[in-house]
Chains A and B, each alone.
Chain A
Amino acid sequence: MVAAQEAPAKLVGQPLKRREDPRLITGAGNFLDDVKLTGLCHAAVVRSPYAHARIVGIDAEAARRMPGVVAVFTGEDLAEVNPLPCAWQAGNVQNNVNTPRLLALGEVHQVGDPVAVVVAESAYLATDAAAAVEVSYEELPVVVDARKATEPGAPQLHDNAPNNVVMNWTCGKEAAEVDAALAAAPVRVNQRVVNQRLIPTAMEPRGSIGRYDEGTGEYTLWATSQAPHVHRLLTAAFVLGVPEQKIRVIAPNVGGGFGSKIFLYFDMPLVLWLSKQTGRPVKFFEDRSENYLHTTHGRDHITDIEVGAEPDGRITALKVKTWANLGAYLSTIAPGIPTTLYGRMVAGCYKIPNIHVDVTGVYTNTAMVDAYRGAGRPEAAFVIERVCDLVAAETGLDPAEVRRRNFIQPEDFPYDSGIGMLPYDSGNYELALDRAMENVGYAALRQEQAARRANGSRKLLGVGLSSYVEVCGVAPSKWIGLAGEGWGAGLWESANVRVHLTGKTVVTTGSLPHGQGHETTFAQLVADELGVPYDDIQIEHSDTQGTPFGFGSYGSRSLTVGGTAIYKSVAKVREKAKELAAHLLEAAPEDIVFENGKAFVRGTPDASKTIQDLALAAHVAYDLPPGMEPTLEATTFYDPPNCTFPFGTHVCVVEVDRDTGEIDLLRYVAVDDVGNVINPLIVDGQVHGGIAQGLAQALYEGAVYDDSGELITGTMNDYAIPRARMVPTYELDRTVTPSPVNPMGAKGAGEAGTIASTPAVANAVIDALAHLGVRHLDMPLTPEKLWRAMAPKTG
């Protein structure tokens, strides 16, 4: 046998095809609605047609008598069950908390509020019976706009929240100090910007299945979940009051989340309660209309910006006042989004000496708003990237030059932006800008634009830049758990790495995928670090049974936090393997080298013990060094010392038809720096999808309520999810600035595209109209809106 002397090819950095895909391309993916259980019943929810009303009476008798109906329950039946918890209570929110009950009791506060539930033998029969439940309401006045909701005389949603205010929150310098800096600034711009409400629209709607085992008193919850351990904790300890170990939560294949599946929803504890009541497993799976009405939405800010700058483009003062619409109740982490993740990021990648941010969180008669892909950072990036272009327009400088003159420099890291964010870890913002400008041919585009403007072309050219930085890898517990930030819990992550007797290796992680390819990426990492063949490594996740507690996947944390926990567990396994090898090779541990899955005495690689040899020896365990425990495994609970800060510059080039307002997306160039990359195929895919979602906010999407609180965009027929013909080809590139925060040097890639693209596209469209005097337009930038903006000029 010829020993393989050359090192095996490293997998980290390779664009491996995903090992998840075979099941998904053959129809064998096991999503929530695919779970088959004996005796399964189906729940249908009776929902309020009114945005604000008092429930006068519910008559469920006819429904109870209908064929196939197992049971009908109303809010009265659940009066003893706690409402859902709000886990992230940002400053001053504590006195104003209102969270949803599993079924409404007394009043409803949004269209779609659940008021009764029918359990029946089939989904069809449950839906039939739900339609037969008679609910009478007394309508109450409605408010859907966050700013109007805080005005005197506005309809009031909750007794404990005067003027519908959830919280008032500030960061940065005192308002007066920033006012003085504004007053002293030679260049001043004021602008109101609206970051419109979006509907996350994971392709798989949400749902849950509950099964109560009378024999053991144990509950099993299958849920479309980005955080099964958290859902178990909150369901057990805060809602149902059952011991945590009596609930097992399983997330089957999750069909996209984008944040919307982080949160605890009414149906999760409800199906468990229903299962106990009926003695049957019970499934609730929302249809798309229910998803749009009642699963969380994102964004929805109204923001007044005041900016002061020098004539050379340097921004000297920024004052931001935001009304954040949080909907009818507080969702699980809602108050943290417009505060910690938005307010503390408004500086973007710029050195701005004077910043004051003031956020008012507001209740309205609308769906709850919580984290949606980017969660606060897209809103922050939109503010600061509009600011750059507004300053450029006011000073006559090129937008690229304004950014360049304000950039934080490479030598400034770690950089404290002065508004309560953790120090930015590393970056080279100008490099990414330069690369993006080069890739798109920026100078030539500006010449072309000038030429078209000079000759009165009806095809207006617009170029939009967005230089972004975001905070990922949430989060150090000592920061996020502080009372001032309000989470009150850590955000560490867990991993167990176990080399079985046979050498097969199983990794469990508290993070979990809903499309991101964890099973592939993590296996690449472990294969390289442990020297076990890739195909021998299995990544287990998404089940609270058999995995240590973990906080789940969101905030681009899976690799940077969860992956680091895996990395550290592998290192511990390697150390134990070395110690065992030293014993077996009769050498001192410090003389053992571990390379590519083999341990040997330095200088004599031929006499080696493979990791498989060592796993066998560790399990049969009759010849271990003194004091060593059997088996070869390690667990790590990793709490990151800092967050990570991906960055980059995106450039969008558009053509606007002067006569119709139609927009053509000519080019989309992205340069992202997500640190070191483990699987570039997956990272590029994340960026593609992120760009599509972000540009859709700029051009197409917007959740609209009428004054009565009816969601006008309540179906996919009305809410403009982009189709294949509505998005451009993405031209991607990367710079690589490793993060010093974790050993892989990774920064996170899940949200960057979304954060960068909205301002890039909006800036491009507005730039196309700049010579007509247009400085700002609110999104979505529809042809009609552009046509109206241009119309007065045509006389």
Chain B
Amino acid sequence: MATAVPMATRIPVRISVNGTEYAAEVEPRLLLVHFLRDNLGLTGTHVGCDTSQCGACVVYLDGKSVKSCTVLTVQADGGEVQTIEGLAKDGVYDPVQQGFWEMHGLQCGYCTPGMIMSAHSLLQRTPNPSEEEIRHALEGNLCRCTGYQNIVKAIQYAANQMSGAGVSGNGSGAGTHNPQDVGDWKGELAGEST
């Protein structure tokens, strides 16, 4: 099944994702969300629209939440990305993930990864948000199932947990990890942990 696709111009990038550094050569037009999903196989980040409205693709890039459908992979060169797959630590859910589970903050689950990442980002900026602040912070994330009420409760739950337990962290991946090959994208082993 090997296929000889003529190479368009490709740009080398090195991007840390969930603490692992990847090197690849990508087309300049390749969106970050497709790099994550198709090249790295990190399919937890979803695509729900083509106009940057829905927020299903929200990830952290250098500590800021971004819509990865609106970032070119080459723009993330040298950056640190954290996706939903990198949020739980040592098998323990992040309080935001836990909150979504506890409060029934999801139904079909398609918007959920982006919703959780945006909520996580909110709580980094505003540890004890009001309901109004929560709803405002979710302007860029659409959910069609829940009617949002339990998402609000999930984030309130997380805020309480985090303030009560003193949990903190900037949400970006850190630590020692093994570099990984990126398969047929000619990924070179980066050999460096972030």
Interface residue ranges, A against B (CB under 8 Å): 17-18, 20-31, 33-34, 36, 38-39, 67-68, 121-125, 201-205, 253-256, 258, 280, 287-289, 514-517, 681-682, 684-686, 688-693, 715-717, 721, 723-725, 727, 729-730, 753
Contact B46 A721 (CB under 8 A): no
Asked whether B101 lies within 8 Å of A25 as measured between CB atoms, the reply is yes
CB pair A280 B109 closer than 8 Å: no
Contacts of B29 in A (CB 8 A): 124
Given contacts A288-B49, A688-B146, contact A18 B104 (CB under 8 A): yes
A40: nearest residue on chain B (CB-CB)? B1
Instruction: State whether A515 touches B139 (Cβ < 8 A).
Output: no
B139 touches A27 (CB 8 A): no
Chain A residue contacts of B56, Cβ below 8 A: 203
C-alpha gap A715/B54 in the complex (Å) = 11
Is A67 in contact with B85, judged by CB distance below 8 angstroms? no
Chain A proximity mask over B85-119: 1 for CB below 8 Å, otherwise 0: 10110000100010011101011111111001000
B residues within 8 Å of A by Cβ?
1, 3, 5-6, 8, 27, 29-30, 34, 37-38, 41-51, 53-54, 56, 83-85, 87-88, 93, 97, 100-102, 104, 106-113, 116, 132, 134-136, 138-139, 141-152
| CB closest residue in chain B, given A291 | B49
Partner of A688, one of B88, B93, B113, B147: B147
Q: Which residues of B contact A691 (CB under 8 A)?
A: 147
Knowing A25-B97, A693-B144, say if A256 contacts B49 (CB, 8 Å). no
Q: Quick one: given A203-B111, A716-B142, are A26 and B88 in contact (CB under 8 Å)?
A: yes
Q: Are B143 and A688 in contact (CB under 8 A)?
A: no
Q: Kindly provide the distance from the CB of B31 to the nearest chain A CB, expressed in whole angstroms.
A: 9
Offer 8 A-B interface pairs, CB within 8 angstroms, sorted by A. Answer: A22-B101, A26-B97, A27-B42, A33-B43, A203-B48, A716-B51, A723-B139, A729-B149
In the complex, the answer to whether A692 meets B148 with C-beta atoms within 8 Å is yes
Closest to A120 in B: B5
Docked Cα-Cα span, A123 to B33, in Å, equals 13
Interface centre among B3, B37, B144 (most CB of A within 10 A): B144
When the two chains form their complex, are residues B104 and A682 in contact, meaning their CB atoms are under 8 A apart? yes
A693-B116 Cα distance, complex, nearest whole Å: 22
Residues of A near B51 (CB, < 8 A) are: 288-289, 715-717
- Secondary structure class of chain B's binding surface, majority of residues: loop
Q: Which residue of A lies closest to B136 (CB)?
A: A725
5 nearest A-B pairs in the assembled complex, by CB-CB distance: A27-B44, A255-B110, A24-B109, A515-B108, A692-B147
Q: B109 contacts which chain A residues (CB < 8 A)?
A: 20-21, 23-25, 29, 253, 255, 515
Question: Which residues of B have CB within 8 Å of A693?
Answer: 144, 147
Knowing A205-B48, A255-B110, say if A124 contacts B27 (CB, 8 Å). Answer: yes
Q: When chains A and B are docked, how far (Å) is the Cα of A516 from the Cα of B109?
A: 10
The one of A26, A202, A204, A287 in contact with B50, judged by C-beta atoms closer than 8 angstroms, is A287
* Nearest CB in chain B: distance from A733 CB, A: 15
A499: min CB distance to chain B, Å = 29
Shortest Cβ distance from A241 into chain B, in angstroms? 28
B148 partner residues in chain A, CB cutoff 8 A: 688, 692, 723-724, 727
Give A693's nearest chain B residue, CB to CB.
B144
B83 touches A27 (CB 8 A): yes
Q: Is B142 in contact with A685, judged by CB distance below 8 angstroms?
A: no
B1 to A280, Cβ gap below 8 A? yes
Residues in B neighbouring A22, C-beta threshold 8 A: 101
Q: Are A721 and B43 in contact (CB under 8 A)?
A: no
- Chain B residues with Cβ below 8 Å from A255 are 46, 48, 108-110
Cβ contact within 8 Å between A203 and B102 = no
- Smallest Cβ distance from B132 to chain A, in angstroms? 8
Are A67 and B5 closer than 8 Å at their CB atoms?
A: yes
CA A21 to CA B93, docked complex, whole Å:
12
Name the residue on A nearest B45 (C-beta): A27
Shortest C-beta distance, B152 to chain A (Å), equals 7
Given contacts A26-B84, A682-B104, 19 further A-B pairs with CB under 8 A are A18-B104, A25-B93, A27-B83, A29-B110, A33-B37, A68-B6, A122-B38, A202-B108, A203-B144, A287-B49, A288-B54, A684-B104, A685-B104, A688-B147, A689-B107, A715-B50, A716-B142, A721-B144, A753-B147
Residues of B within 8 A of A203 (CB): 46, 48, 54, 56, 108, 110-111, 142-145
CB distance from B45 to the nearest CB of A (A): 7
**Contact call B104/A25, Cβ cutoff below 8 A:** no
Task: Name B108's contact: one of A39, A204, A692 (CB within 8 Å).
Answer: A204
CB distance from B9 to the nearest CB of A (A): 12
Q: What chain B residues lie within 8 Å of A123 (beta carbons)?
A: 34
Given contacts A26-B84, A67-B6, A288-B49, contact A725 B139 (CB under 8 A): yes
Given A26-B87, A34-B43, A38-B1, decide whether A21 and B106 contact each other with a Cβ distance below 8 A: yes
CB pair B150 A685 closer than 8 Å: yes
In the complex, what distance in Å separates the CA atom of A154 from the CA atom of B8?
50
* Contact between B146 and A689, CB atoms less than 8 A apart: yes
A681 to B146, CA, bound (A): 12
Asked if A17 meets B102 with Cβ closer than 8 Å, knowing A25-B97, A67-B6, A724-B152, the reply is: yes
Inter-chain contact A288/B48, CB cutoff 8 Å: yes
Q: List chain B residues, Cβ under 8 A from A289.
A: 50-51
Q: How far, in whole Å, are A685 and B147 apart by their CA atoms in the complex?
A: 8
Q: How long is the Cα–Cα vector from A255 to B147 in the complex, in angstroms?
A: 15
Chain A residues near B144 (CB, 8 Å)?
A: 201-203, 256, 258, 689, 693, 721
CB atoms of B138 and A723 under 8 A apart: yes
